[in-house]
């Protein structure tokens, strides 16, 4: 099983600042099968990025993903008020599918 | 418009069973795998399993207790949860696809308590 470790656990930032979230895998994630989701309280996850760097339909270009192998990054270039949420990475290159424990982006 | 709507959750005693449903609309159901996840209160997301073209795959933690099936004629995916334990208390989500998921249901809450 691939274990995903996200850091930091909490990111305290102000609107307009840049957010950099990390996801490290315990093994190589095949074919960069890595996705990022945003989740707000009481809501289902929302797909942001798939294939490590492809933005999902309707996702603003302030969200970008990068990385390969075992190290992946989600960057939010300029935080908007609606971006404060919990973010999860997920690998789908092997079974079982696994998620990181999440990074909470909160208002500083 | 693609929609996934879960139902069937509720309060259940330990050891009992439930069948959760995920009604799909807005796409050709048979063209996609359907995956089930759960999220315990205040916790992260856990993959339960997936069904695709009549085959199923499960997480080790639920294998033997949970069963995924689907009825393509009704565009519904099912998750049968049996021998429920308090640790199974969670929001249960279905999602379209077997890898990344562009559509998720709103979830159905299962609470296991005596």
What average pLDDT does the segment B85-104 reach?
A: 96
Per-residue model confidence (pLDDT) at position A61: 97
A53 interface with B at CB cutoff 8 Å: no
Contact A88, A100 (CB under 8 A): yes
Per-residue model confidence (pLDDT) at position B82: 96
Q: Tell me the three state secondary structure of residue A18.
A: coil
Q: What whole-number percentage of chain B has pLDDT above 90? A: 96
Could you write out the DSSP letters of every residue in A34-86?
EEEEEE-TTS--EEEEETTTEEPTT--TTEEEEEETTEEEEEESS--GGG-SE
Per-residue model confidence (pLDDT) at position B63: 86
Q: What whole-number percentage of chain B has pLDDT above 70? A: 100
Alpha-carbon distance of B92 to B38, in angstroms, equals 4
CB count in 10 Å sphere of residue A82 = 10
CA distance, residue A41 to nearest chain B CA (Å): 10
Residue written as token pair 């296991």: B112
Q: Which residues pair with B45 in a beta bridge?
A: B39
Token couple for B74 = 């009704």
Alpha-carbon distance of A13 to A10, in angstroms, equals 10
For the stretch A42-58, pLDDT in tens is 999 999 999 999 999 99
From the list A35, A44, A98, the residue facing B100 with the nearest CB is: A35
Half-sphere exposure of residue A80: CA atoms within 13 angstroms, side-chain side: 7
Q: Which of A49, A51, A96, A104 to mutate to test the interface with B (most CBs of B within 10 A)?
A: A96
Q: Which residue in chain A is spatially nearest to B96 when comparing CA positions?
A: A47
For the stretch B17-69, pLDDT in tens is 999 999 999 999 999 999 999 999 999 999 999 999 889 999 999 989 999 99
For the stretch A60-96, pLDDT in tens is 999 999 999 999 999 999 999 999 999 999 999 999 9
Q: What is the mean pLDDT of chain B?
A: 96
Per-residue model confidence (pLDDT) at position A81: 97
Which residues from A are below 8 Å from B90, CB to CB? none
CA distance, residue A48 to nearest chain B CA (Å): 9
Q: Which residues pair with B77 in a beta bridge?
A: B22, B70
pLDDT band at A31 (very low <50, low <70, confident <90, very high): confident
């Amino acid at each position: 099983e691939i274990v995903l470790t996200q850091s930091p656990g909490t990111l305290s930032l102000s609107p307009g600042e840049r957010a950099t979230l990390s996801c490290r895998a315990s093994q190589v994630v095949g074919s960069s099968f890595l996705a990022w989701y945003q989740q707000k309280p009481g809501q289902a996850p929302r797909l942001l990025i798939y294939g490590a760097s492809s933005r999902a339909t309707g996702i603003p270009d302030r969200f970008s993903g990068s990385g390969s192998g075992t190290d992946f990054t989600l960057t939010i270039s300029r935080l908007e008020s609606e971006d404060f949420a919990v973010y999860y990475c997920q690998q789908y290159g092997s079974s079982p599918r696994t998620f990181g424990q999440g990074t909470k982006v909160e208002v500083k | 418009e693609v929609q996934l709507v879960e139902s069937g959750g509720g309060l259940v005693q330990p050891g009992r069973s439930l069948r959760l449903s995920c009604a799909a609309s807005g796409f050709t159901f048979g063209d996609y795998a359907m995956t089930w996840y759960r999220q315990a209160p205040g916790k992260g997301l856990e993959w339960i399993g997936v069904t695709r073209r009549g085959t199923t795959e499960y997480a080790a933690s639920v294998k033997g207790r949970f069963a995924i099936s689907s009825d393509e004629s009704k565009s519904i995916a099912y998750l049968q949860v049996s021998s429920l334990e308090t640790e199974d208390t969670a929001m249960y989500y279905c999602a379209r696809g077997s890898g990344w998921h562009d559509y998720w249901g709103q979830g159905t809450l299962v609470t296991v308590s005596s």
